[in-house]
Structure formats: C-alpha cells, structure tokens
Structure 1
Amino acid sequence: MNFALILFVLVVITGIAWVADKLYFEKKRRAAAADALSAFDARRQDLQDRYGVSEIDTSRTKLAEEKLRQPWWLEYSASFFPVILAVFVLRSFVVEPFKIPSGSMIPTLLIGDFILVNKYTYGIRLPVVNQKVIPLNDPQRGDVMVFRFPKDPSLDYIKRVVGVPGDVVRYEDKKLTVNGQPAEYQPKADFLDEERLTYSKQFTETIGGASHQILNDADRPPFVIGADDFPFRENCTYNQRGLTCKVPEGHYFVMGDNRDNSLDSRYWGFVPDKNVVGKAFFIWMNLGDLGRIGSFR
C-alpha cells in the first residue's frame, strides 16, 4: 500500500472541500445566519412593541451558532485539511518515520527500531513520483540510506552506501575494498542475536575516514549464491571469493551491516538515484529497548 499516494489523495479531497467551504458554503451559511438573525430581531422587537416582552426562549447566540455550523460532511473533510496538509508536507519534504522490519542492518539497526529519515538531504523530490526537482547533496559512502527497492518500487529498503557513481567496489573474503583502498577492520566482542540465539563476529569497519559496526558469520561462505540478473550486471564479476563491481553513473552500491544476512546490491544490483528516499539519522523509539533512542553512525 502506497501511503504517500493515500495521503496525497486525502490532501486533494479535503483541500477541495476546504476551498469550496471558504469560497461558497461559508458565505451561504453566513447569509442564512444573517437572515435568521434579522428575522429573530424583528420578531423580538414586535413582541416587545405589542406585549412589552423583552426576552423570548430562543437564544440569539444559539441560533447564530446553529446557522453557521458546518454540515457533517464538511466537518469531517474541510476541518481536517490543515492537519493532513501539514503531515503531508512534513512527511514528503522534511522527515519521514520508518520501522525496521528485518535484521539486515544489525548491529546498527535492530528489528523494531523506529527511525527518522531526512527527506531533503539528498535533494527536494516531488511526493508520490519521487522526482528530484531541487538537487542538493548526493549520498556519500557510509550513509545509511532508505530507497525504493529497484525490483519492486512499492517496497522501501534500508542499507549502507558503500559505493558511489564511478567507484570500483570489491568485496572478497568478507573484506571491502573501494577504488583500491582496503577497509580497516578492528575486532570487537562477538554479537549475540537474541532473536536467533546465535553469535556473530563483530568488527569496526573503517574506510575513507568513516567507521561503523558490521557482523560476519564465520559459517557462511564468502561467495555470492543466487545473484539475480539486473541492469548493469556486466559491471560485476563474481568468483569464489566474492565479487567486484564498478558502480555506473547515477547509481549506488549498497550493503547491509549484517553482511552474511543481507540481500543487497551483491544480489539484486545497483540503486538508481531516482529510487533514493532519504538519509536515516535517528532512532526515535524501540518499544523493547528505550535505551536505543538516539542517533547512530
């Protein structure tokens, strides 16, 4: 389900109702209220002149409120327009929340983390169609990026950028090299996956001055099994040690931090710039561990 499209449709529907109310229905209600109050005042004046009655049961204020009240269909459409519009603008151009559904980014992001994604860091894009209209910055190596899955753009994926346009990315024997520069690896304490009750080797991976944590499963082979056919697959060479790919222009090579448990560019190819959604930067909630709230690398 495309939530952005649903939100856009709601903005259009409620916006039409709001404009129609301001330009037509509100004026009609005010005119009806003025006529009713004029008749009310004339009746009260007549009663006062004839019988000396200065007050009658019907309240003038309540009469005005009744005539000016929006019908139910306007109350539940036009009244919500400002709120829906604010949510749409905030979500489309500023920041969007996501929930991590899988373990491909462990240990950086855990299943159940609720994250925030900056929608303008990589340029201003039109909502729904995701067309960039104002270029700003480009994704950089080391960024944790949300994007539309190239094989099914209705799905949002999150991975780490390891190669930008023109880079030669080599991942062999579970070690990363970019443009001939090998990454540095600092061993850390083994990581316990509490969901699967298994331990994985954990390292601090540093390349180009950017550091982050990754996991490797010692029991998994280094070579890629079951890579799909994808655009620019000819840019990649697979062997028993891993693969080497040259990133085409306008595309990015991404990998999960849980290296042996991530379906990423090694399997389905490059991420085109048109699929980029934004940069993940903050964990705002994890119902199982409130201590995870905060920024991450």
Structure 2
Amino acid sequence: MSALTGVLYAALVAYLGGWYTGRWSGNFALLLFILTAVTLLYWLAERYYFAPARRAAAEALVANDAKRREQLAAQGIARVDGDIEPARQQILQQPWWLDWTAGLFPVILAVFLLRSFLFEPFKIPSGSMVPTLLVGDLILVNKFHYGIRLPVLNKKIIANNDVKRGDVMVFRYPEDPSTDFIKRVAGIPGDEISYVNQKLYVNGQAVPVQSQGNFYDEDGRVYRQRFLEKLGEKEHQILVQPDAQRFFRADRADGPFPFHENCRYTLEGVTCKVPAGHYFMLGDNRDNSRDSRFWGFVPDENIVGRAFLVWMNFGNLKRVGTFFD
C-alpha cells in the first residue's frame, strides 16, 4: 500500500505541475472530488481494517509478554527485564501513507463541502469589472444563492433565488468551461438588451446613469468617465471611455455562438434578445471587457454563484471587507 500511495502522490504532483506550467487545463472541482473519494477509501480501510489489525497485534504482544512473565514466575523468576510499551506504541502507530491519506480525509471533506455548497474563493485577474472589482481582489462567491448544484456535474437539484439584473455573477466561460469568468448580469431570459453608442438599454428603456467624474484605471493606465448606473434594484459604478471603438462583432473562436440569430450587430452597437435559460453579461469597465457582446449568452448550467465580498487584496488592504452587488 505504501508503494501505491507513493504512485498516487506522484500522479498528483505531475497533474498539478502540468496545470501550473500551462501544459493542460485543470479542473479543481473534479480534482477535489477525486481526492475526497480516494481519502475516504483510505479512511474506511484504516477504520475497519488497518487500525483493528494494529490493535490486535498490540494486544497479542501484551498477551504474549504476560504469558512469558507467568511462565518465568512459575520457575521462581519474579523479576523480568524488558518494557514492551515502546514496541506496543510502535505497532499502534499509523504508517505515513495512512497518515497522509486517511488522516487528511476530514480536512479534504470539509473543504469539498464548503467549496461545493457554501462559499468559494476567486481571484480577479483582469480589469473588466473595474471600478467594482480591482485586479488582485480575492473575492468570495455564494454557491447556494441561486440554488444547490451537484459538484463537478454542476446540475441544479434545489432551486433558490432567481438571477436578477445587476447581480455580479461567476460563471463558467462558454468558450472554455474550464475557466471561470465574472461579470454583471445585464439581461435575464426574455429581455431585449441593447448596447448602442455606449449606452445600455433594457427592453427599450435606457438604464439610468449619473456622472461621477473621472476615474484613473490603473489596469489600462488611462482616465475613464465614471457613472453611477442603476441596473435592477441597486446602483453600481461603471466606466466608459468616450473615444473607444463602438463596433462589436461576434468573435468566438469556435464559431457562431448558440442563439447568435437573436443578436443584431450594427456600427452603433449590438441588440440581443435573451433566450430562455440564458443570461446577458457585461463588465463594469464597459470599454475594456470581453463579454456577451462578443461571445453570446451564458446558459443557466454554467452558473457558479453570486459574488458578494472582497476578503483580501494584498496590494490594497483598504479593499478588505468590501461588499458589492
């Protein structure tokens, strides 16, 4: 078993190494599920086979020692040298390959349950959601807000809150489901969304905005106009760059996106009818975000959860504890 465990750890290191160096894409949810299953098998084997076997061997050692002492006592030898306690403790000691598998099962199980059904951490890698989220923000995502989903399969089994316009949502990127994206929900099923001349319209009505002055976008190293936008029930800030290009086109690498016929592209912008079970996503940094204007709609089965809290930013500690919607 020690050799098998060594092989499993070698495979894990090779997988993580290839993932880190970019040789292949990793699936952390699947990896965590496999680790939970494997360590569970070791934990069960330890509880019902290996640990009882060690205890039986230790008891046999004690019984043999007692029998030997009785035999010597019968021969008139009352004082017997030798303490078997160190040997007994060595027999009872868990070997390394069980300590690093069965011993880790409770921890891995707790992480698996917490990440799968409650909260999951993410790091913001780009400036598409500035000024709401900055590069380097470490955020928490509520995994049960939109319903309980099976790990790995991501199939909803218990419904909860509906997706609302204005929610900041993490989802699996439609072009590459192994990658998680974060954007703001602009359109829900049945909505007609237009982004024309840098203005957002929902079902023919312009989304209210108020000018908030300029904002220095450190990611793009430019000043952009900042606005307070009310999309849905709550307000949030967005950035707009007046001199940015206003022409959008579908540019998915894998060809036309599903329901592409629901969208009309013009020199002024794009208008899309959101199909059932799908959502239209936009970045708050409107001219520095590759979102539904380019790659289409997000299906419901791609939803990961609703982002709500910045729990750490090592480059800007003032961001810690920032709640957002």
Give the structure 2 partner of residue 41 of structure 1: 66
Note if 1:293 corresponds to 2:320. Answer: yes
Give the structure 2 partner of residue 257 of structure 1: 284
Note if 1:27 corresponds to 2:52. Answer: yes
Aligned-residue offset at 1:195: 3.8
Query: Hey, what's the Cα distance between the residues in 2 that align with 1:239 and 1:124?
Result: 40
Query: Hey, what's the Cα distance between the residues in 1 that align with 2:232 and 2:221?
Result: 34
AA aligned opposite 1:157: F
Asked if the contact 1:182/1:207 (under 8 Å) is kept, the reply is no
More displaced, 150-159 or 127-136? 127-136
Give the structure 2 partner of residue 199 of structure 1: 223
Query: Hey, what's the Cα distance between the residues in 2 that align with 1:119 and 1:208?
Result: 21
Query: Hey, what's the Cα distance between the residues in 2 that align with 1:195 and 1:214?
Result: 15
Aligned-residue offset at 1:168: 0.9
User: What does 1:1-297 align with in structure 2 at a 5 Å threshold?
Assistant: 1-48=26-73, 50-53=76-79, 56-60=81-85, 62-225=86-249, 227-228=251-252, 229-294=256-321, 295-297=323-325
AA aligned opposite 1:296: F
Name the Cα RMSD after superposition: 1.5
Query: Hey, what's the Cα distance between the residues in 2 that align with 1:266 and 1:227?
Result: 9
Q: Deviations over 1:63-107 (max 9, x none)?
A: 332221122211111010111011011001100000001110000
Partner SS, residue 276 of structure 2: coil
More displaced, 112-121 or 66-75? 66-75
Query: Hey, what's the Cα distance between the residues in 2 that align with 1:197 and 1:180?
Result: 34
Partner SS, residue 280 of structure 1: strand
More displaced, 262-271 or 25-34? 25-34
Asked if the contact 2:249/2:265 (under 8 Å) is kept, the reply is no
Aligned-residue offset at 1:227: 3.7
TM-score between both structures, scaled by the size of structure 2? 0.87
Query: Hey, what's the Cα distance between the residues in 1 that align with 2:234 and 2:284?
Result: 14
Instruction: Name structure 2 gaps, 5 residues minimum.
Output: 1-25
Q: Identity of paired residues, percent?
A: 54
More displaced, 259-268 or 176-185? 176-185
Query: Hey, what's the Cα distance between the residues in 1 that align with 2:130 and 2:70?
Result: 79
Q: Deviations over 1:147-197 (max 9, x none)?
A: 001111011000000100011111111111112222111111211122443
Query: Hey, what's the Cα distance between the residues in 2 that align with 1:150 and 1:207?
Result: 23
Aligned-residue offset at 1:46: 4.1
Query: Hey, what's the Cα distance between the residues in 2 that align with 1:131 and 1:236?
Result: 28
How many aligned residue pairs are there?
A: 295
Instruction: Name structure 1 gaps, 5 residues minimum.
Output: none
TM-score between both structures, scaled by the size of structure 1? 0.95
Q: Deviations over 1:229-282 (max 9, x none)?
A: 211111111112111111000000000000001000000000000100000000
Query: Hey, what's the Cα distance between the residues in 2 that align with 1:195 and 1:163?
Result: 27
Query: Hey, what's the Cα distance between the residues in 1 that align with 2:231 and 2:324?
Result: 17
Distance 1:207 1:7, change over 3 A: closer
Partner SS, residue 165 of structure 1: coil
Aligned-residue offset at 1:226: 5.2
Asked if the contact 2:119/2:140 (under 8 Å) is kept, the reply is yes
Aligned-residue offset at 1:28: 1.0
Aligned-residue offset at 1:38: 0.8
Q: Deviations over 1:23-63 (max 9, x none)?
A: 1111111111110111122233444553321x633243x33
